[in-house]
Structure 1
Amino acid sequence: MEAAKKENLKKIQEINKIIETTEQKKEASVGKLNAIGERINKQTKQIDILAEKQQLLDNEAQELQKATGELSGNLEKLKEEYAKMVFTAAKTSNKVNKLSFLFSSSNFNQLIRRYKYLQQYSEARENQAVLIQKVRSELLAEQVKILQKKQEQDALLREKITETQNLQVLKGKQTEVVSQLSQKERKLREQLEANKKVVERLENMIANIVEREIKRSQEREIRINKRNNTASSPSKRNSIRLSAEETKLASSFSALQGRMPWPVNSGFISSRFGVHNHPVLRGVRTNNNGIDIQTSAGNDVKVVYEGIVQSVVSIPGTYMVVAVQHGDYFTIYSKISNVTVSNGQHLKAGQKVGEVASDTDGTSELNFQVWKNFDKQNPENWLRQQ
């Protein structure tokens, strides 16, 4: 639980940096709204973690109270037994002289038994006294634990109140940004139309790359078949004909599903795969062929797996785009700047391809896509959980 709390706090700090960057631009933006929304999600998670911890402390406190009650009962019982033993010993001492008790034995064996009885009775009283002291010490230790647990509960309650107040402040900011964006509906619609054109250009570019590689693979197979004097197998128009090396690469890339490293070191998913509602414009739906990862400007963008660079182009509205082939899989990195790779270059997993760019609103986002031939994949199903 403590590990989850620390990890969530780390995420909150990362998002706070992103929010600070977007707030440098005085105007409201969808990027700022997304960052605040993610911050609210993490803040809510933090409160949930604190509530879970509070419940755990309550359970522990109840167990301690129960243990304390049992120890108190045991202590009282031991005290009563000890008092009876002392009283019995005192009565015996007054009525019967110990020596007389011993020497009035009818035989030697009886004398030995009486002596052992007196000895054991004395030891029992001593052991009872030691046991009482031990239980008293345990009881005191449990009472100290209860006091410490109470202090932890009080501190946790204060922390939870503070985090709840922070959440309310964030929700107020969110409402304010939504209100400001609602007043800029015309500008938002213009941005939306421009973004649709960018998405179409990017989709066509990727489709052309896939089509080109399919054609190349078919021509390569024809050459090999002619050289070997073998008949060509039926052509697959919508998939790349892989060589043995490419098949191995594609297979190892496929094994990454669910554990693929993120292309950036920090950030959050600000726009998910597929069709979803616009965050401000009612009744407006947007489509994303990949995911957008909002992060800090200038963060390194790294290729998620080894492969070959198939395209480095500039598309207006999305800065630079890098497409990398991994057998019959492709990963696409767009909205980047300061590109460090070139066409045909062989890349190692984790190699830098560029840096995350910032738009005029101060939002820094990487658009990341995964394709298999012409099929668009949901990158969230590939990336490891953060």
Structure 2
Amino acid sequence: MKLFRLLLIFISTCVAVNSFAQSSAELKRRKEKLNDELAELNREYDKVRKDKSVSIKQLNILRAQINLREDKIKTINSEVRNLDNQISENTNTVHTLQGQLDQLKKDYAGMVLFAYHNKSAYNKLMFVFAANDFNQAYKRLKYLQQFGNYRQRQAESIQGTQKDLGIKINELDRTKKEKRTLLQDQEREKQNLDKQRSDQAVVVSKLSKQQGYLKQQQRTKSKQISAINRQISSAIRREIAEARRKAEAEARERAAAERARAAAAERDNKPAPVAANKPKEITKSSSNSEVLNSTPEAARLSNDFLGNRGSLPWPVANGTITQGFGTYYIEGIKTENTGLEIRTAGGAAARAVFSGEVTTVGNISGTYVVIIRHGEYFTAYSNLRSVSVAKGQKVSTKQAVGVVATDGATGETVLHFDLYKGQTPVNPKIWLAPD
């Protein structure tokens, strides 16, 4: 039972350490990514700050920095929680090993004392020769040999346990040191966050003196987003209407063919043929979902797309969300965002988040929009300076569809990304893989 308990402790410790290592590695990878993004924003902000005139770009960079720094603090908190769990596990293991070591030493001390009282060869011989018969004498001799071997194994077990205990104590010390380092890093990030919030307040205060200009910029941006939303919604509505028209026409053709076959069978006095795998009939009362999933290929693509919810690749290789899904009020101007504003590097490629077919390539105020259909789902990529796909083209996951445009006034490169289920916009953030 003691051996079984030790084995159980060992297995549970290995599982806990393995899961901790995986989680810790993922958190460290995310923190490194956040550090890279923060470093890039810091370089860009330093360039912008040299210009004495305060700009919207400066405010946007500060907002992005604050969002990233808050994410980093959350990541550090998760790392600290993981380390606390590891410290608790190691502490328990140290106590267990210390208890085992104490018991081993106690047992060994008893054996040493017994051996001391029977240390002379004369006593050992007398113990063997005092046997009643040869069989008992042989057993006593084997006992003395086994006792000696057991003492040796106990000594080795003590040394091994001491070694394991030393390793675990060192590991515990390293984990505690790593936790202290993380807490120091967290404190620095909090100080930087407070400073950037103060800088943001100063920039907003200065921009408020240019309130008319600021509001005009926000109105312009709001109009651009509204225009993008309208065009995407109209394009998807047209695509659904065209899919319905085709499905209804195919249904009419099938019905006419069936009537012709039935009439021919009646003339020949034969039973009417029964169509195998008859597709679902699309009528004027059919829902948009039924229309868009009217073919087996479309239904399969819809299911595959839905199955990847929460793990779709980002529409840019590297980016930061600067405005999320929903309604926003900035400088008193209401903006209804049906997608995500994703800030990325200049010259970055927009890429398909899933395989599908390009249904629209359009122009909105000098920039392009690409819409891709994935069964009953649609993804839209707006604010492109150029496109690399054409209407009707099949695309694969992560295939480039165009290059994101850079705003000449602010110098920012922002992709507008939308996701629709039929004609209904949904929040793309919950569909994308964690950044």
Q: TM-score, normalised by structure 1?
A: 0.80
Is 1:351 equivalent to 2:374 in the alignment? no
Is 1:9 equivalent to 2:31 in the alignment? yes
Separation (CA, whole Å) in 2 of partners of 1:224 and 1:112: 99
The change in CA–CA distance for 1:250 and 1:197 in structure 2 (over 3 A counts) is farther
CA contact (8 A) 1:246 1:326 kept: no
Instruction: Identify which range, 64-73 or 291-300, moves more after superposition.
Output: 64-73
CA contact (8 A) 1:320 1:339 kept: yes
- Superposed displacement of residue 301, structure 1: 0.5
Q: 1:315 aligns with which of 359, 365, 370?
A: 365
Which residue of structure 1 aligns with residue 5 of structure 2? none
The one-letter amino acid paired with 1:19 is L
Larger RCO, structures 1/2 (Cα 8 Å, 6+ apart): 1
Instruction: Identify which range, 57-66 or 235-244, moves more after superposition.
Output: 235-244
CA contact (8 A) 1:242 1:327 kept: no
Separation (CA, whole Å) in 2 of partners of 1:234 and 1:100: 103
- Superposed displacement of residue 12, structure 1: 1.1
Separation (CA, whole Å) in 2 of partners of 1:179 and 1:153: 39
Q: Helix, strand or coil for the counterpart of 2:118?
A: helix
Separation (CA, whole Å) in 2 of partners of 1:309 and 1:138: 68
CA contact (8 A) 2:316 2:350 kept: yes
CA contact (8 A) 1:332 1:368 kept: yes
Gaps of 5+ in 1: none
Separation (CA, whole Å) in 1 of partners of 2:234 and 2:427: 20
CA contact (8 A) 1:214 1:241 kept: no
- Superposed displacement of residue 297, structure 1: 1.8
Q: Helix, strand or coil for the counterpart of 1:184?
A: helix
Which residue of structure 2 aligns with residue 361 of structure 1? 410
Q: 1:274 aligns with which of 318, 323, 326?
A: 326
CA contact (8 A) 2:239 2:359 kept: no
Q: Helix, strand or coil for the counterpart of 2:312?
A: coil
Which residue of structure 2 aligns with residue 265 of structure 1? 317
Separation (CA, whole Å) in 2 of partners of 1:45 and 1:124: 58
The one-letter amino acid paired with 1:272 is G
Separation (CA, whole Å) in 2 of partners of 1:122 and 1:223: 96
RMSD: 3.6
- Superposed displacement of residue 367, structure 1: 0.7
The one-letter amino acid paired with 1:333 is Y
- Superposed displacement of residue 368, structure 1: 0.8
- Superposed displacement of residue 97, structure 1: 9.1
The change in CA–CA distance for 1:233 and 1:163 in structure 2 (over 3 A counts) is closer
Q: 1:375 aligns with which of 394, 417, 424?
A: 424
Deviations 1:183-204 (A, max 9, x none): 3131432222112211232233
CA contact (8 A) 1:17 1:296 kept: no
Instruction: Identify which range, 230-239 or 157-166, moves more after superposition.
Output: 230-239
Separation (CA, whole Å) in 2 of partners of 1:222 and 1:83: 95
Q: 1:169 aligns with which of 192, 199, 211?
A: 192
Task: List aligned pairs for 1:230-241, cutoff 5 A.
Answer: 235=284, 239=288
Deviations 1:322-345 (A, max 9, x none): 233455543221122122234x34
Which residue of structure 1 aligns with residue 378 of structure 2? 330
Separation (CA, whole Å) in 2 of partners of 1:100 and 1:314: 104
Separation (CA, whole Å) in 2 of partners of 1:158 and 1:150: 12
Is 1:248 equivalent to 2:297 in the alignment? yes
Q: 1:205 aligns with which of 231, 234, 238?
A: 231
The one-letter amino acid paired with 1:7 is R
Separation (CA, whole Å) in 1 of partners of 2:153 and 2:315: 66
Deviations 1:195-244 (A, max 9, x none): 22112322332343244445545655676677678599753599599588
Deviations 1:228-280 (A, max 9, x none): 785997535995995888673365145313043322122233222112454xx
Q: Helix, strand or coil for the counterpart of 1:183?
A: helix
CA contact (8 A) 2:361 2:368 kept: no
Q: Helix, strand or coil for the counterpart of 1:383?
A: coil
Gaps of 5+ in 2: 1-22, 50-54, 260-280
- Superposed displacement of residue 320, structure 1: 2.6
- Percent identical: 18
Separation (CA, whole Å) in 1 of partners of 2:115 and 2:244: 103
Instruction: Identify which range, 256-265 or 289-298, moves more after superposition.
Output: 256-265
The one-letter amino acid paired with 2:193 is L
The change in CA–CA distance for 1:139 and 1:290 in structure 2 (over 3 A counts) is same
- Superposed displacement of residue 180, structure 1: 0.5
The one-letter amino acid paired with 2:191 is Q
CA contact (8 A) 1:273 1:291 kept: yes
CA contact (8 A) 2:379 2:420 kept: yes
